[in-house]
Structure 1
């Protein structure tokens, strides 16, 4: 894979994740501490972004760093388990505090039970 291709693939993935979350380049930039034009340059594959900045972008998008490298139509994809975890996180984001605490307790009990079996 050529250098420019990887930059474009990462940029396309960041753009897709940003749009899925309904964020503008400006909003993503604010969350990560970047200027919106820098986000645009990354999305267009014009910037060779540092690992630390990729981490900040991933945090701002509420995804794991590895998900920035999960390209569509590529061999390296998000695992089904990772997709399930993201679905659970999405459900929790929509829940109120009481339901979040309840889900945490239920999950803790489920995982305790599976550790002993």
Structure 2
């Protein structure tokens, strides 16, 4: 079962990653996570823990809260 919040989080991660012209592999290496984990996050298949949200945010040079702001980003 898909959860809208997980999908929205994944879309925001992907958006930020693409804005910085990073591949999933590059992002994964930057935050010491596996590329398949990043892929599953971007597809809304993972319920990401707080420490990994912080790692991803640091690798993307954004505040963690910027990855958790969903209002208006995806209507559903």
Fold shared by both chains (TM-score > 0.5): yes
**What is the match of residue 27 of structure 2?**
28
User: What is the CA-CA distance between 1:25 and the residue it aligns to?
Assistant: 0.2
RMSD (Å), alpha carbons: 1.4
Secondary structure at 2:3 match in 1: helix
Greater helix share, 1 or 2? 1
User: What is the CA-CA distance between 1:70 and the residue it aligns to?
Assistant: 2.3
Which of the two has higher C-alpha Rg? 1
Between the aligned partners of 1:42 and 1:13, the Cα distance in structure 2 is 10
Q: What are the equivalent positions in structure 2 for 1:35-46 lying under 5 Å apart?
A: 35-46=34-45
**What is the match of residue 6 of structure 2?**
7
Between the aligned partners of 2:29 and 2:55, the Cα distance in structure 1 is 11
Unaligned stretches of 5+ in structure 2?
A: none
**What is the match of residue 53 of structure 2?**
54
Q: TM-score, normalised by structure 2?
A: 0.89
